């Protein structure tokens, strides 16, 4: 492999390339606009576009595209070539400033909720200069935001950028109170760890459920699962290692800082973690990562499954969202400080997060709600659907003493008075890091572990940014009026900790006891998407979003609707796929095998000497009975799916899908899986879990 330094970012129109290829004044004005997040001066756009085009053509590009993120968790592109016709019939290659800044894809084929009815179908893409353009598949890709004619966000990037502005604005008010007047900007930083499965492409192609739904809808558990814990961090198999090497290289070319690759807990499961960066870029890079993972897998005869729960009874996949707040002067507000004042700022930030998470459990839960994730949350492998915060023993006992107003004895037995002296830096000790907590403090950042593997990281970060911005806003409103800052800030920290203590839980989040305990504490436990999403429309949530300019009321309503619709459609597709599999393949397979048993019985009975047929008879009877159940349940599912079509209100429809369709699907699966274990291998129509999970 070439030198990593040479490879890294080689397909990105990044800062260095811009500096080299743009006239100095234009480079500087672009850079300032990016740093200050201001609109680009249109007069420079033509020059930037031209430089981009020349560079992209050198990289082999023939087309350009506005690369955007409609509300589908995946990206969209509409390619145009650089070709423009000359009067004399020849062509020249052109790319204007206008084409760089604005595009007009037809919005009508992307989800828009009610926005489509109210506004024109046309949508606009607008260049986001804060995320660098890049060349991928011979195409110059320009990261863009996607809005309706009236300016409503139709994508996942726009609200993310708005939420980053919101938290920047409120966090700046806070740091100013601490005299940090040199800070001009505060960014949220994210490092998303991405989990995924790899399966053999040939086997994948034999399973309609994997093809249509990205997960298995039936499949008996193999005798060996992950109980031996021999896969986690185990030696990476050659085929997978080759895939990972290739993936890293492609990601590096695109400027994605892929850092760690290892096996995960389940067989055939792996993880990739990049080095953290600002949230907007992290979100774009995570989208790219998912896309390149899928493509690279295919090149290796594999398929990358990003679904949250591809296999029942085996760990699902998540995406750990590591989140922190960083000033442009390099201070991480979540790092315990070295001076009294920075310590107080740390504790204030910590209390803002605790308050935010406690007051807005619903929004965090909503941000990770999807059908796939419902199967994972609370399945004794991922955090339960209850939101809580883990702080670790050290920080927890510190908080206790703050609440009680006592002096704190830290583990080193140095007596310290809180907030005025140095907190020993919280050691990032892997052994006491609680993997069962959905929202864990890990030394200098929070790790939100509920996010599903297939989702964009945008929604989750929109929520975290907005709710923490709101807590900062309330704090700043109080403290800006304060006459005795020192004592008021300490009182505020203490009051916030004691008021929101219930959200802190350091125990085993997977245990049954916690569910009861959480209920006693009054914490929300929204078990499924259909139940969770309507919370979005709470008056206080609508107010919160509009106060911070993240969503207006229409946008909130649209998003809720789109996601509920998506939920219903996904269950619908799964139900139809299951029906097809059961009716066309499973029932006939069981029949065929029963038939062979019967022929065997007949032959035995014909034999001159009496041969025992009891096994064949018993098995044939049992399988026939189960097949009859499958037949009946398939009809039941079919009817339920038809009933769902008649339900008008989307909230009711989602609940119906959850209550009346998923349950029948589970019943069917149960019987089918039992039969799979008793039908002779060669009769079973699909590759089994054993094949899929253990044969790469
Ligand atoms: P693990 O959780 O597997 O122990 P690490 O703690 O090393 O791994 O990091 C996990 C992810 O957190 C990485 O993507 C890393 O870049 C990111 N990360 C580390 N520090 C920060 C920070 N201050 N803010 C946001 N993300 C961070
Ligand atoms: Mg982690």
**Residue 92: helix, strand or coil by DSSP?**
strand
pLDDT tens string 289-307:
999 999 999 999 999 999 9
Q: How far is CA 532 from CA 27, 436, 537, 568, in A?
A: 47, 21, 11, 14
Together in a domain, 174 and 110: no
* Residue 641 pLDDT > 90: yes
In the block, tokens 């200069």 appear at 129
Together in a domain, 366 and 453: yes
449 lines ligand 1 (CB under 6 A): no
Let me know if residue 187 belongs to a domain.
yes
Let me know if residue 79 belongs to a domain.
yes
Q: How far is CA 365 from CA 240, 274, 556, 665, in A?
A: 33, 24, 15, 25
**Residue 195: helix, strand or coil by DSSP?**
strand
Together in a domain, 390 and 405: yes
Residues 6+ apart with CB under 8 A from 369: 526, 528, 529, 532, 533, 563, 567
Tokens encoding 583: 């009716």
Q: Which atom of ligand 1 is nearest to the CA of 275?
A: 16
CB neighbours (10 Å) of residue 508?
A: 13
Together in a domain, 145 and 171: no
Together in a domain, 147 and 166: no
Give residue 180's domain range: 162-192+321-550
Together in a domain, 488 and 573: no
Query: What's the gap between Cα 305 and its chain centre?
Result: 14
pLDDT of residue 467: 98
Ligand of minimum distance to the alpha carbon of 449? 2
Q: Which atom of ligand 1 is nearest to the CA of 274?
A: 14
* Residue 591 pLDDT > 70: yes
195 lines ligand 1 (CB under 6 A): no
Tokens encoding 286: 């995570």
Q: How far apart are CA 691 and CA 652, in angstroms?
A: 39
* Residue 279 pLDDT > 90: yes
Together in a domain, 514 and 585: no
Residue 153: beta bridge partners? 147
**Residue 672: helix, strand or coil by DSSP?**
helix
274 lines ligand 1 (CB under 6 A): yes
Give the chain's largest Cα–Cα span: 107
Q: Over range 667-672, report the average pLDDT.
A: 98
Together in a domain, 508 and 611: no
pLDDT tens string 531-587:
999 999 999 999 999 999 999 999 999 999 999 999 999 999 999 999 999 999 999
Q: What is the CATH number of the domain that holds 589?
A: 1.20.120.1560
Let me know if residue 521 belongs to a domain.
yes
Phi, psi of 132 (to 5 degrees): -65, 145
Q: How far apart are CA 63 and CA 49, in angstroms?
A: 13
Q: How many domains does the chain have?
A: 3
Together in a domain, 531 and 596: no
188 lines ligand 1 (CB under 6 A): no
Listed residues 103, 126, 155: the one ending a domain? 155
Listed residues 106, 137, 155: the one ending a domain? 155
Nearest alpha carbon to residue 575 among 47, 217, 113, 146? 217
Confidence of residue 330 (pLDDT cuts 50, 70, 90): very high
Residue 583: beta bridge partners? none
Let me know if residue 212 belongs to a domain.
no
End-to-end CA distance of the chain: 25
pLDDT tens string 359-368:
999 999 999 9
Let me know if residue 464 belongs to a domain.
yes
Identify whether the C-beta of residue 209 lies closer than 8 Å to the C-beta of residue 307: no
Confidence of residue 230 (pLDDT cuts 50, 70, 90): low
Listed residues 517, 550, 583: the one ending a domain? 550
Ligand of minimum distance to the alpha carbon of 276? 1
Nearest alpha carbon to residue 274 among 265, 264, 266, 284? 284
Q: Over range 149-166, report the average pLDDT.
A: 92
Confidence of residue 234 (pLDDT cuts 50, 70, 90): low
Together in a domain, 488 and 535: yes
Let me know if residue 225 belongs to a domain.
no
Identify whether the C-beta of residue 194 lies closer than 8 Å to the C-beta of residue 308: no
* Residue 420 pLDDT > 70: no
76-90, 322-336, 593-607: which has the minimum mean pLDDT?
Answer: 76-90
Phi, psi of 511 (to 5 degrees): -75, 155
Return the best residue to mutate from 191, 232, 261, 390 for the ligand 1 pocket (most ligand atoms within 8 A of CB). 191
Let me know if residue 72 belongs to a domain.
yes
Q: Enumerate residues with CB within 5 Å of ligand 2 (an ion).
A: 193, 320
Q: Over range 655-670, report the average pLDDT.
A: 96
SS3 content of the chain, % helix, strand, coil (to 5): 50, 15, 35
CB neighbours (10 Å) of residue 30?
A: 21
Return the best residue to mutate from 164, 272, 273 for the ligand 1 pocket (most ligand atoms within 8 A of CB). 273
Nearest alpha carbon to residue 508 among 437, 599, 433? 437
| Buried-state track 207-241, b at ≥16 Cβ within 10 A, e below 16 | bbbbebbbbbbbbbbbeebbeeeebbeeebeeebe
Ligand of minimum distance to the alpha carbon of 430? 1
Confidence of residue 226 (pLDDT cuts 50, 70, 90): low
Residue, of 111 and 410, whose pLDDT is higher: 111
Q: How far apart are CA 295 and CA 692, in angstroms?
A: 19
Ligand 2 centroid vs 193 CA: distance in angstroms? 6
Return the best residue to mutate from 322, 349, 439, 447 for the ligand 1 pocket (most ligand atoms within 8 A of CB). 322
DSSP assignment of 603-666: HHHHSSS----HHHHHHHHHHHHHHHHHHHHHHHHHHHHHHHHH--SHHHHHHHIIIIIHHHHH
Confidence of residue 682 (pLDDT cuts 50, 70, 90): very high
pLDDT of residue 502: 96
pLDDT of residue 414: 37
> Strand 186-200 and strand 277-278: pairing?
antiparallel
pLDDT of residue 411: 45
Q: How far apart are CA 468 and CA 482, in angstroms?
A: 21
* Residue 261 pLDDT > 70: yes
Q: Over range 262-266, report the average pLDDT.
A: 77
Tokens encoding 488: 């008021």
Residue 258: beta bridge partners? 274
Let me know if residue 371 belongs to a domain.
yes
Residue, of 650 and 91, whose pLDDT is higher: 650
Identify whether the C-beta of residue 304 lies closer than 8 Å to the C-beta of residue 197: yes
Q: What is the CATH number of the domain that holds 70?
A: 3.10.20.70
> Strand 102-103 and strand 408-409: pairing?
unpaired
Percent of the chain predicted with pLDDT > 90 = 71
Q: How far apart are CA 40 and CA 199, in angstroms?
A: 45
577-579-584-587 Cα dihedral, nearest 10 degrees: 130
Together in a domain, 364 and 491: yes
Residues 6+ apart with CB under 8 A from 598: 616, 620
Together in a domain, 510 and 380: yes
> Strand 139-148 and strand 63-67: pairing?
parallel
Ligand 1 centroid vs 191 CA: distance in angstroms? 6
Question: What mean pLDDT value characterizes the chain?
Answer: 90
Residues 6+ apart with CB under 8 A from 93: 53, 57, 82, 83, 84
Confidence of residue 417 (pLDDT cuts 50, 70, 90): very low
């Amino acid at each position: 492999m070439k030198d990593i330094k040479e490879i890294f970012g080689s397909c990105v129109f990044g800062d260095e390339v811009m500096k080299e290829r743009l006239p100095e004044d234009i480079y500087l004005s672009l850079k300032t606009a990016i740093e200050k997040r201001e609109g680009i001066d249109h007069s420079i756009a033509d020059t930037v576009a031209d430089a981009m085009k020349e560079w992209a053509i050198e990289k082999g590009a023939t087309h350009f595209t506005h690369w955007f993120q409609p509300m589908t968790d995946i990206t969209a592109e509409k390619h145009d070539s650089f070709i423009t016709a000359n009067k004399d019939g020849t062509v020249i290659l052109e790319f204007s400033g206008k084409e760089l800044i604005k595009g007009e894809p037809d919005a009508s084929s992307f989800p828009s909720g009610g926005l489509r009815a109210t506004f024109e179908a046309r949508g606009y893409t607008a260049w986001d200069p804060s995320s660098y353009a890049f060349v991928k598949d011979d195409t110059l890709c320009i990261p863009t935001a996607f809005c309706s004619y009236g300016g409503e966000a139709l994508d996942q990037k726009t609200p993310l950028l708005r939420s980053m502005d919101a938290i920047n604005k409120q966090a700046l008010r806070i740091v100013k109170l601490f005299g940090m007047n040199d800070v001009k900007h505060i960014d949220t930083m994210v490092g998303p760890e991405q989990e995924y499965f790899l399966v053999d492409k040939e086997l994948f192609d034999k399973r309609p459920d994997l093809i249509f739904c990205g997960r298995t809808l039936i499949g008996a558990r193999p005798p060996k699962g992950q109980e031996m814990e021999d896969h986690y961090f185990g030696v990476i198999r050659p085929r997978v290692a080759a895939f990972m090497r290739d993936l890293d290289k492609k990601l590096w070319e695109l400027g994605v800082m892929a850092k760690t690759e290892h096996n995960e807990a389940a067989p055939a499961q792996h993880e990739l973690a990049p080095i953290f960066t600002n949230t907007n870029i992290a979100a774009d890079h995570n989208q790219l990562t998912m896309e390149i993972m899928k493509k690279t897998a295919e090149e290796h005869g594999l398929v990358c499954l990003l679904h949250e729960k591809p296999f029942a009874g085996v760990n699902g996949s998540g995406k750990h969202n590591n989140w922190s707040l960083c000033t442009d002067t390099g201070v991480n507000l979540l790092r315990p400080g070295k001076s009294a004042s920075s310590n107080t700022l740390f504790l204030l930030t910590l209390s803002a997060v605790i308050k935010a998470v406690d007051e807005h459990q619903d929004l965090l839960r909503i941000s990770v709600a999807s059908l796939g994730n419902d199967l994972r949350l609370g399945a004794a492998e991922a955090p339960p659907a209850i939101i809580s915060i883990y702080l670790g023993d050290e920080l927890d006992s510190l908080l206790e003493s703050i609440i009680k107003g006592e002096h704190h004895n830290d583990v080193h037995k140095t007596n310290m008075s809180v907030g005025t002296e140095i907190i020993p830096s919280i050691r990032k000790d892997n052994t006491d890091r609680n993997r069962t907590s959905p929202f864990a403090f890990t030394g200098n950042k929070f790790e939100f572990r509920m996010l599903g593997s297939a989702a964009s990281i945008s929604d989750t970060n929109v929520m975290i940014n907005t709710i923490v911005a709101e807590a900062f806003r309330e704090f700043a409103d109080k403290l800006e009026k304060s006459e005795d800052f020192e004592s008021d800030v300490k009182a505020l920290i203490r009051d916030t900790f004691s008021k929101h203590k219930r959200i802190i839980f350091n125990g085993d989040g997977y245990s049954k006891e916690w569910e009861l305990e959480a209920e006693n504490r009054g914490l929300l436990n929204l078990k499924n998407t259909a139940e969770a999403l309507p919370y979005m429309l709470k008056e206080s949530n609508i107010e919160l979003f509009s106060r911070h300019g993240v969503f207006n009321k229409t946008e909130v309503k649209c998003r809720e609707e789109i996601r509920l619709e998506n939920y219903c459609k996904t269950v619908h597709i799964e139900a139809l796929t299951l029906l097809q599999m059961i009716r066309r393949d499973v029932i006939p397979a069981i029949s065929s095998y029963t038939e062979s048993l019967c022929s065997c019985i007949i032959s035995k009975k014909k034999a001159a000497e009496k041969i025992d047929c009891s096994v064949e008879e018993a098995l044939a009877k049992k399988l026939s009975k189960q097949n009859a159940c499958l037949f009946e349940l398939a009809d039941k599912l079919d009817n339920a799916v038809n009933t769902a079509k008649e339900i008008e209100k989307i909230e009711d429809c989602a609940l119906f899908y959850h209550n009346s369709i998923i349950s029948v699907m589970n019943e069917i699966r149960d019987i089918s899986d039992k039969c799979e274990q008793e039908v002779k291998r060669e009769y079973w129509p699909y590759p089994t879990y054993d094949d899929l999970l253990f044969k790469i």
